[in-house]
């Protein structure tokens, strides 16, 4: 009995090819009807040399591989092949992305079955074609507030990408087009802060929603909407962390506030990351990402090579923690045991808090549920935020990524004082903050420099207009008396 279309996650999926009979590396697969056949992996040895003519960087085995199943329990072959071919094209695929793709395509499959639609039937009447009906379905869900704009756009986009792939590969032929498309030019900002234009292809099934800037928005767009914590909330946070007295959570927060590093970077620190001798009282450089000739083992966004500047006092605290009995006992329970390549931060059971991209085969028990900092976020929700709400503000809230914006604003405030004192120029300060934040463009860094002035102007303008409006209303009411 199947409950409808669903996404299935295989702990491990290995590409195979049929073999003529028994032999080295050949497995026997038995079917329900009693027949069987032979298969061999598309990897000839542990070094991943190929037998199918593909480059050696093309993967043939994947952990946590998503499968889209129809309502009758059968795999949706075309969608699963599309996901597999996209996976094969990436040397280090981010499986969370493909799990999301499978989830969105499962939603589309559910829509098709609920409305008794064939995904390959495209009649002459445009609004009866599956893509147009799905577009209307998403817009209705959006208007009812059941899904967000981002979700609607993403789901429609993935369906378009799926059909486009199938058509370009010559795997399907439709009687009528699934959408109408046209070329348009859009304005973009390059990393140097200069505007330009780029030709893109748009379709009439895309989800288009007018976007309006909010001058009172207290967030900064830096890889997501981040809210810098003001000074008083930072004090509340530090107080709560000390009250909760959880060593790993304190160190993880300290690293975020002192360096602006993202959670995947902090949680993939290794023991070897903090084994360098400390010289002086300044900053200690930590390389992260795929630096040439240096295997850092630390994840970064988009595999970017970055350098973190960690205060020497905090680096010393990390060294003390790494050599503590608490940390050692956790490493001894972890797969591989206690060694320099082991993660610095582990759970009491030796489970990593975040599995690095290069550790795709890190223990069978982690294949189904990949660790991506859920434990840290859960601790924040269960202990840190409730403490601050009890002691200070019942409406307080924050997300871990807000600490990155908090670091940026603290750094910016310090350099603004230097600019006002004539100790440094605005351009020099902008470059320093941009480097410390590891920004791809100074345009993003400028959002931090303009943040407080933008809010101040917005509230000043609102207050001025409200005063004028109140004066006019009082005059009008006097005339009515």
pLDDT tens by residue, 205-232 = 988 876 655 555 677 888 778 898 988 9
List CB contacts of 434: < 8 A, sequence separation 6 or more: 442, 444, 445
Helices (H), 245-373: 247-259, 263-266, 312-322, 325-333
Q: Which residue has the tokens 């050692």?
A: 328
Q: Which residue has the tokens 């390959």?
A: 120
Summarised one tens digit per residue, pLDDT across range 121-175 is: 999 999 999 999 999 999 999 989 899 888 999 999 999 999 999 999 999 999 9
- 3-class state of residue 129 by DSSP: coil
User: For the stretch 279-295, what's the b/e string if a residue is b when 16 or more beta carbons lie within 10 angstroms of its beta carbon?
Assistant: eeeebbebebbbeeeee
For residue 41, what are its two tokens?
């992996």
- 3-class state of residue 21 by DSSP: coil
- Predicted confidence at residue 155, as pLDDT, reads 96
- Predicted confidence at residue 44, as pLDDT, reads 44
Contact 43, 27 (CB under 8 A): no
Q: Which residue has the higher pLDDT, 121 or 465?
A: 121
Q: Which helix (H) or strand (E) holds 389?
A: helix 385-391
- Predicted confidence at residue 443, as pLDDT, reads 82
For each of the domains in the chain, give its residue range(s) and CATH number, in order of start.
6-42+55-182 (no CATH), 230-397 (1.10.443), 406-480 (no CATH)
Summarised one tens digit per residue, pLDDT across range 325-375 is: 999 999 999 988 999 999 999 999 999 999 887 776 555 555 556 788 899
Report which of 69, 71, 72, 99 is spatially closest to residue 83, judged by C-alpha positions.
Answer: 99
Residue 186 above 70 pLDDT? no
Helices (H), 19-123: 77-88, 95-114
- Predicted confidence at residue 376, as pLDDT, reads 95
Q: What integer best gives the mean pLDDT of the chain? A: 83
Q: What percent of the chain has pLDDT over 70?
A: 79
For residue 156, what are its two tokens?
């429609």
Q: Which residue has the higher pLDDT, 287 or 2?
A: 287
- 3-class state of residue 260 by DSSP: coil
213 CB burial (10 A radius; 0-12, 13-18, 19+) = exposed
- Predicted confidence at residue 246, as pLDDT, reads 93
- Predicted confidence at residue 75, as pLDDT, reads 93
For residue 468, what are its two tokens?
């004028």
Question: CA 61 to CA 88: how far, in whole Å?
Answer: 9
Q: Which residue has the higher pLDDT, 277 or 14?
A: 277
Q: Which residue has the higher pLDDT, 105 or 37?
A: 105
Band of pLDDT at residue 240, cut at 50, 70 and 90: very high
Band of pLDDT at residue 47, cut at 50, 70 and 90: very low
Summarised one tens digit per residue, pLDDT across range 438-458 is: 888 888 888 888 777 766 655
Question: CA 70 to CA 110: how far, in whole Å?
Answer: 8
């Amino acid at each position: 009995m199947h409950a409808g279309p669903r996404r299935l996650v295989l702990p491990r999926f290995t590409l195979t090819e049929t073999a003529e009979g028994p032999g080295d590396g050949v497995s026997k697969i038995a079917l329900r009807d009693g027949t069987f056949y032979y298969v061999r992996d598309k990897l000839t040895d542990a070094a991943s040399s190929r037998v199918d003519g593909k480059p050696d960087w093309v993967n043939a085995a994947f952990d946590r591989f998503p499968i889209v199943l129809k309502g009758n329990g059968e795999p949706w072959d075309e969608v699963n092949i599309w996901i597999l071919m996209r996976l094969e094209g990436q040397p280090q695929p981010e499986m969370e992305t493909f799990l999301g793709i499978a989830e969105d395509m499962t939603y589309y499959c559910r829509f098709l079955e609920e409305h008794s639609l064939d995904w390959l039937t495209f009649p002459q009447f445009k609004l009866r074609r599956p893509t147009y009906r799905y577009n209307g379905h998403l817009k209705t869900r959006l208007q009812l507030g059941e899904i967000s704009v981002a979700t609607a756009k993403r789901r429609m986009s993935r369906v378009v990408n799926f059909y486009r792939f199938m058509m370009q590969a010559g795997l399907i032929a439709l009687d009528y087009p699934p959408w109408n498309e046209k070329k348009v030019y859009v304005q973009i900002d390059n990393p140097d802060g200069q505007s330009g234009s780029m030709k893109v292809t748009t379709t009439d099934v895309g989800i288009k929603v007018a976007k309006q800037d909010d001058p009172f928005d207290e967030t900064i767009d830096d890889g997501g909407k981040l809210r810098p914590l003001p000074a008083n909330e930072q004090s509340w946070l530090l107080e709560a962390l000390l009250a909760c007295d959880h060593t790993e959570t304190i160190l993880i927060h300290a690293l975020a506030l002192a360096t602006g590093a993202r959670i995947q970077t902090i949680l993939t620190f290794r023991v070897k990351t903090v084994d360098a001798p400390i010289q002086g009282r300044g900053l200690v450089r930590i390389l992260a990402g795929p630096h040439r000739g240096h295997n850092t083992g630390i994840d970064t966004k988009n595999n970017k090579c970055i350098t973190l500047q960690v205060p020497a006092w905090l680096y010393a605290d990390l060294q003390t923690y790494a050599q503590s009995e608490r940390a050692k006992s956790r490493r001894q329970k972890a797969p591989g045991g206690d060694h320099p390549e082991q993660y610095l931060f582990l759970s009491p059971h030796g489970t990593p808090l975040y599995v690095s991209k290069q550790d795709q085969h890190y223990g069978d028990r982690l294949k189904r549920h990949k660790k991506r900092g859920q434990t840290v976020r859960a601790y924040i929700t269960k202990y840190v935020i409730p403490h601050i709400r009890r002691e200070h503000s019942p409406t307080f809230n924050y997300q871990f990524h807000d600490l990155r914006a908090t670091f940026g604003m603290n750094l910016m405030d310090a350099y603004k004082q230097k600019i006002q004192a004539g100790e440094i120029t605005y351009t020099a300060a902008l470059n320093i903050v941009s480097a410390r934040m590891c920004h791809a463009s100074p345009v993003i860094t400028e959002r931090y420099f303009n943040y407080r002035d933008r809010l101040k102007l917005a509230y000043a303008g609102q207050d001025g207009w409200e005063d004028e409006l109140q004066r006019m209303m009082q005059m009008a009411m006097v005339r009515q008396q």
